[in-house]
Amino acid sequence: MPQISINTKRERFKLIFFISTLLLAFIGLAAMPRVSIPLLLGYVIFLIVYPAVPTLEKLGINRVGSIWIVFSALIFFSIYPFVKVVPTVTAEIENVQYFLPKIEKYVTKKYEELRIEVREKTSFEIGDKYFFQALDWIRKTSTNILLNIPKILASLLEWIFFIPLIIFFLLKDGKKFKRGILKLTPNSIFERFYFLSHQFNKKLGDYIFAKFVEASIVGITITSGLLILNVRFALLFGLIAAITNIIPYVGPVIGFIPGLLFSLAEYGPGTTLGAVIMLFVVANAIDIAIVFPILVSKVVDLHPLTVVVSVILGSQWLGMVGMIISIPFAAALKLIAQEVYKEIYQE
């Protein structure tokens, strides 16, 4: 009678080789952010546009043709924002530096008033050491950001050439890459690995698509609201709110601060400020009450604590990009952990 036994030595060797290859790939990506960040971005955009390929194929266009159509559409629709939005945003950012002293002056004045008031009422002198330190830090960081804009634009230029290349080859050869990895997968974990990676990819795709839609809704709401209120830098504040919205919990608050500070300094505590606050509250209420439950929460079911911890760890690892990718990454880890748990505790 045949005995059930794993061909241990060879299989174990294959397993070790496979896992170490995967680990090396991850370590390599983590160690080279200049390559891995555009790679990740390219992959994210690929996941957003990929569902269009089978749809076109169903219409009778062959695979290469539909890839070219999707790719050309992507290039076409991303050139317009680049040509139109980037100069506007750059001009707005450059204008911001003229408004920064104004905001600073306003904050200092308010602080001085508060100090005098406190001294008169309680005869207690508030030290201004920390205040000026904080102000100094803010001034330095914002100047730093402004001075770094050319550098960011330079890397953006690098990305403009690199990312479309990645997307194109992912569309064209993505299947071959997948096949290559699957060929390397040892028999003993093949079914599980294939199914898990497929599930994870699907989850990631859904999550990114949901987040993309959510951020667009928030960004458009805030930009159009600010335009109606006739607040300056409407496009810039809308863009900031959209991008920071991707970060859970803290994102909407971070996105709110620049707009709040600016309108406080520019228009003072009045109806405009109230309207701006209302606008941000309403936009986030729409997001939290309608968009999030419908789109995002179904995709990832992580404990809020897990979300916060992974965002903090992500920000430490890769900065802004880390904060954005931390949630799908945590979801992947959870998927793997669940599988390992089942494996250990079922028997």
Partner 1 sequence: MSYEDEINQDILNSKKLPEKLEISVLRYFWQSNPLIGKKTDSIPRFLRKIDVLSNFSENELRILAKYLHLRKFQPGEVIFKQGELGVGFYLLYNGYADIIVENTEGTDEVKPSSKHILTLEKSDYFGELALLQEISIRNASAVSRQGCELLGLFKPDLEELINHYPVIAAKLLQSISLIVANRLFSLTREVQELKYKLSSYEKDQDASN
Can you give the binding site for partner 1, defined by CB under 8 A? 1-7, 10-11, 54, 57-58, 182, 187-188, 190-192, 194-195, 198
Residue 51 CB, shortest distance to partner 1, in Å, is: 8
Residue 182 CB, shortest distance to partner 1, in Å, is: 6
Four-residue CA torsion sign, 59, 64, 67, 71: negative
145: left (phi over 0), alpha (psi -120 to 50) or beta: alpha
Which CB sits closer to partner 1, 4 or 344? 4
Contact yes or no for 67/42 (Cβ under 8 A) = no
Which CB sits closer to partner 1, 84 or 179? 179
Residue 67 CB, shortest distance to partner 1, in Å, is: 13
Angstrom distance (rounded) from CA 209 to CA 45: 9
Residue 53 CB, shortest distance to partner 1, in Å, is: 9
Which CB sits closer to partner 1, 54 or 269? 54
- Cα 100 to Cα 146, 151, 226, 243, distances in angstroms: 11, 21, 19, 22
Which CB sits closer to partner 1, 137 or 190? 190
Residue 43 CB, shortest distance to partner 1, in Å, is: 18
Which CB sits closer to partner 1, 62 or 271? 62
Phi/psi of residue 143, each to 5°?
Answer: -65, -40
| Sequence-ordered alpha helix ranges (H) in 32-62 | 33-49, 52-58
Which CB sits closer to partner 1, 6 or 156? 6
CA neighbor of 57 nearest in space, from 45, 76, 70, 75 = 70
Residue 282 CB, shortest distance to partner 1, in Å, is: 38
Angstrom distance (rounded) from CA 268 to CA 266: 6
